[in-house]
Amino acid sequence: MRAAGEFLESAGIYGKMYGTPRAWVQEQLRRGRLVILEIDVQGAVQVKARIPEAYALYILPPSEEELQRRLRSRRREDDATIGRRFAEAKSEIDHARASGVYDTFVVNRDLEATIEEAVGLVNAERARRRAARR
C-alpha cells in the first residue's frame, strides 16, 4: 500500500510500521464526517502536506519530569527502554513545535480536562469553518 501511494500518511515508530489509508479518510470527509487521526509528527507533516486545511492538535505533557514519571508508572519497560522512549518523546515534542504543522498545543495535566479542551477546540474550529462557508 505504501509503494502504491495508498496511505495518507505512514511512518515507522518504535520498530513498527503504521499508516492511514487515504481512500477511507477521503470517503469519510466526502460524507461530511469528522476524522480524527492519532498520529505522530511524521504523519502530521505528511497529512498537512496533502490536506493543508487539516486541523492539527498536539497533546503535550505538563513537564519533562511528569513525562518521565508517566513512562515509569506504566511498569512495562526496563530503565534503558524508558530512557530511550523519554529521549524519543522529547525529540518528537521539539519536532512538533518546530514543524509548523500544528494549529494548537494542549497540555495534558488532567486527562478529563484535556479531553474537554480538545473537544472544545475541535468543535470551535468546525463552527468557524461552517460560518466561513456561509
The reported pLDDT for the residue numbered 89 is: 93
In the CATH scheme, what architecture does the domain 55-133 have?
3-Layer(aba) Sandwich (3.40)
pLDDT band at 93 (very low <50, low <70, confident <90, very high): very high
Is the confidence at residue 75, as pLDDT, over 90? no
Is the confidence at residue 14, as pLDDT, over 80? no
Q: Give the chain's mean pLDDT.
A: 93
Domain edges within the chain: 55-133
How deeply is 89 buried, as exposed, middle or buried, from its count of CB atoms within 10 A (0-12, 13-18, 19+)? middle
Pairing type for strands 57-60 and 104-107 reads parallel
Helices (H), the chain: 22-30, 41-50, 64-73, 79-99, 111-133
Backbone angles phi and psi of 20, in degrees to 5: -115, 120
Helix, strand or coil for residue 72? helix
pLDDT by residue (tens digit) across 26-71?
Answer: 999 999 899 999 999 999 999 999 999 999 999 999 999 999 999 8
Is the confidence at residue 2, as pLDDT, over 90? no
The reported pLDDT for the residue numbered 1 is: 87
The percent of residues above 70 in pLDDT, for the chain, comes to: 99
pTM of the model: 0.86
